[in-house]
Chain A
């Protein structure tokens, strides 16, 4: 068993809502009064759950509540969650920018994070001087920086401007230089926040690639925060899923991502049975459509490359043979991207009467890039369409694991196919 390098015990973080004013002085004084009498902070017992969309009912909110986790040496831990779930707060606590309201974080190594792009750059200093300054702020010594300076300049791609004050730099160049320094840090624990990758598309790719190199190689301990479930899935071994400031789920990365994707699932098939904007008669009606992952759990958001099954519920008046089912996936522009049809892929199917059966349409390696899609369901027998419903359900593709490389196609166009490109 490799040893625990980072450990969080019951950490919570409370924030005050609203503005600083006379009320804060009153609370400060009250808190101080309790403190000199040796009592507990009176405002620790209250505080609302961190739910961004709910109405603010109290002055205090728990951005994080009772977080416990351990990270072992060499482990790559993914931290996922929706906006405002507490990811950034957790990162701030880990990088020692602020302290938890309660609880302890214990660490055996130095923590540095890749989110401090260009921190402390002084516009009047040259690029080279700023590399030294920024590096020192991030915890490197002069000797360390001197050893790497050529590499850093090279990575930034700003060699021509390196002895020019950074105030003359374009904003993109500043970011490049800042990232170049951050990318050459060698802390014991690295915090990578992919959400904040900036710069032009080319540099972004370079940056993300570098993050992934750092994360995967050298056996370093990495905390990886990302919205791209695909790269989380391919890089991390274990994950934490934050929801409203608490750990909603912790464990194997596959399960965590699965939980994340099924979260907030709207009742996507609620009205399919009642919908009247459909063709066909009373003989056959689709009554529901859900997406299942390969473990049979219902999901709302998909990741390309994974296996998904569309589970269609229906109601049929009598036993009907020779049916053709068609599941067509449209993008938001109304263009058909994928058609599944048993007439071509296998053979015509028979159904019994009633509602006891379901139709399962499985796509083993889901081929669409990030985007929002909707499904059109149709069923036909030998005489023609017996049910046809557009926009039967909608779903998002939120990440890609298609190529298993952790990288993904940025363009929402086209369909992903397995391929190889090589030089011979």
Chain B
């Protein structure tokens, strides 16, 4: 009976560890991760004429409209950064956060067919979303860079990038972590109560306006100081603002290391909390979805 004590490959039970992230297992399924990423990228614009061009069109058009409404009509000042470039950078950053969050939040609902039949580490799915969206984000960063260079060489007075550019990847990771963390929290709720996914749709819309996407935080503080606290306590606003600061390094934008540290710390907390909830949900969600 000595084999009784031998280690089992795995155990299935209702007992849960708080965080159950099995990196070895995720590594074993790395091919699946790659294939999911490939699938997400390849299939989005299949059977479209413009194909990957759509990656460009969405942020460009949104930026044009934002520039018209917020800068020309509502005359929000963006300092020495051209309004269009300002909006484009904000929208690019926000979009990445948004797609990460939406993709993660939809994990269980969108994959219930697969999840209901096969086991694989569920965390692969949100991870693949974050990575495949990173590719789209990268493409969008290319046009952002293009416009940046264009303005840099055509305008006399223009923001100049400096070493702060090194913060850009840090902010991208922060956005991914926020998207993952918040998305996992939402995903656990949507499995049982569909109300949450309806809420999420317009909440994200409203949240964008509270997250300093079409304006710098300073401009808001000058115009409506009594409501500035809403944005001040919104970590997402500081992420967008900080991302811009990393790109343009102007004093018009708020950045300090305390805020940066706070954002990182909160991001880690959100991510861990999301992971705990996600681990709890992934085991039995198929019974309630």
Evaluate contact between B119 and A104: CB separation under 8 angstroms: no
Compute how far the CA of A165 lies from the CA of B43 in the bound complex, rounded to whole angstroms: 11
Task: Answer yes or no: A306 CB below 8 A from chain B CBs.
Answer: no
Of all chain A residues, the one with the shortest Cβ separation from B287 is: A98
Evaluate contact between B14 and A109: CB separation under 8 angstroms: no
Task: Answer yes or no: B162 CB below 8 A from chain A CBs.
Answer: no
How many whole Å from B127's CB to the nearest CB in chain A? 14
Evaluate contact between A95 and B117: CB separation under 8 angstroms: yes
Task: Answer yes or no: B118 CB below 8 A from chain A CBs.
Answer: yes
Return the contact of B119 from the options A4, A97, A109 (Cβ within 8 A).
A97
Compute how far the CA of A266 lies from the CA of B39 in the bound complex, rounded to whole angstroms: 55
Evaluate contact between B117 and A119: CB separation under 8 angstroms: yes
Most buried by A among B9, B47, B115, B118: B118
Task: Answer yes or no: A347 CB below 8 A from chain B CBs.
Answer: no
Residues of A within 8 A of B10 (CB): 96, 106-107
Q: Contacts A100-B12, A110-B9, A142-B31 known; A124 to B3 CB distance under 8 Å?
A: no
Task: Answer yes or no: A108 CB below 8 A from chain B CBs.
Answer: yes
Task: Answer yes or no: A101 CB below 8 A from chain B CBs.
Answer: yes
Q: Contacts A97-B115, A97-B286 known; A124 to B46 CB distance under 8 Å?
A: yes
Residues of B within 8 A of A297 (CB): none
How many whole Å from B139's CB to the nearest CB in chain A? 19
Residues of A within 8 A of B283 (CB): 98-99
Evaluate contact between B9 and A119: CB separation under 8 angstroms: no
Residues of B within 8 A of A103 (CB): 13-14
Residues of A within 8 A of B43 (CB): 122, 124-125
Compute how far the CA of A132 lies from the CA of B47 in the bound complex, rounded to whole angstroms: 21
Task: Answer yes or no: A102 CB below 8 A from chain B CBs.
Answer: yes
Evaluate contact between B288 and A136: CB separation under 8 angstroms: no
Of all chain B residues, the one with the shortest Cβ separation from A89 is: B287
Evaluate contact between A137 and B39: CB separation under 8 angstroms: no
Task: Answer yes or no: B262 CB below 8 A from chain A CBs.
Answer: no
Task: Answer yes or no: B225 CB below 8 A from chain A CBs.
Answer: no
1/0 contact trace for B11-27 toward A, CB 8 Å? 11111000000000000
Q: Contacts A95-B117, A119-B118, A136-B32 known; A100 to B39 CB distance under 8 Å?
A: no
Task: Answer yes or no: A116 CB below 8 A from chain B CBs.
Answer: yes
Most buried by B among A16, A28, A108, A136: A136
Q: Contacts A95-B119, A98-B283, A137-B32 known; A104 to B12 CB distance under 8 Å?
A: yes
Task: Answer yes or no: A332 CB below 8 A from chain B CBs.
Answer: no
Compute how far the CA of A105 lies from the CA of B283 in the bound complex, rounded to whole angstroms: 14
Of all chain A residues, the one with the shortest Cβ separation from B193 is: A20
Of all chain A residues, the one with the shortest Cβ separation from B117 is: A116
Evaluate contact between B117 and A97: CB separation under 8 angstroms: yes
Evaluate contact between B118 and A137: CB separation under 8 angstroms: yes
Evaluate contact between B193 and A136: CB separation under 8 angstroms: no
How many whole Å from A248's CB to the nearest CB in chain B? 23
1/0 contact trace for B102-133 toward A, CB 8 Å? 00000000000111111110000000000000
Evaluate contact between B118 and A95: CB separation under 8 angstroms: yes
Of all chain B residues, the one with the shortest Cβ separation from A130 is: B39
Evaluate contact between B14 and A99: CB separation under 8 angstroms: yes
Task: Answer yes or no: B269 CB below 8 A from chain A CBs.
Answer: no
Most buried by A among B12, B13, B285: B12
Evaluate contact between B284 and A99: CB separation under 8 angstroms: yes
Most buried by B among A3, A92, A110, A120: A120
Of all chain A residues, the one with the shortest Cβ separation from B192 is: A20
Evaluate contact between A136 and B31: CB separation under 8 angstroms: yes
Of all chain A residues, the one with the shortest Cβ separation from B283 is: A99
Task: Answer yes or no: B35 CB below 8 A from chain A CBs.
Answer: yes
Task: Answer yes or no: A359 CB below 8 A from chain B CBs.
Answer: no
Residues of A within 8 A of B31 (CB): 136, 141-142
1/0 contact trace for A133-147 toward B, CB 8 Å? 100111101100000
| Residues 11-44 of A contacting B (Cβ, < 8 Å) | 15-16, 20, 24-25, 28
Task: Answer yes or no: A268 CB below 8 A from chain B CBs.
Answer: no
How many whole Å from A127's CB to the nearest CB in chain B? 14
How many whole Å from B273's CB to the nearest CB in chain A? 16
Evaluate contact between A108 and B46: CB separation under 8 angstroms: no
Evaluate contact between A102 and B35: CB separation under 8 angstroms: no
Return the contact of B12 from the options A96, A113, A138 (Cβ within 8 A).
A96
Task: Answer yes or no: B42 CB below 8 A from chain A CBs.
Answer: yes
Given A106-B8, A119-B113, A132-B35, 13 more A-B residue pairs with CB atoms under 8 Å apart are A4-B3, A15-B287, A97-B116, A100-B13, A101-B14, A105-B12, A106-B12, A107-B11, A108-B8, A110-B9, A113-B117, A142-B31, A165-B46
Sample (29) of A-B pairs whose CB atoms are under 8 Å apart: A4-B3, A20-B192, A20-B193, A28-B192, A96-B10, A97-B286, A98-B283, A98-B284, A98-B286, A98-B287, A99-B12, A100-B12, A100-B13, A101-B14, A103-B13, A104-B13, A104-B15, A105-B11, A105-B12, A105-B13, A106-B12, A107-B9, A108-B9, A109-B9, A116-B118, A120-B114, A139-B29, A139-B118, A141-B31
| B→A interface (CB under 8 Å) | 3-4, 6, 8-15, 29, 31-32, 34-36, 39, 42-43, 46-47, 113-120, 192-193, 283-288
| A→B interface (CB under 8 Å) | 3-4, 15-16, 20, 24-25, 28, 92-113, 115-116, 119-120, 122, 124-125, 129, 132-133, 136-139, 141-142, 165
Top-4 shortest CB links A-B: A96-B119, A136-B32, A105-B12, A104-B13
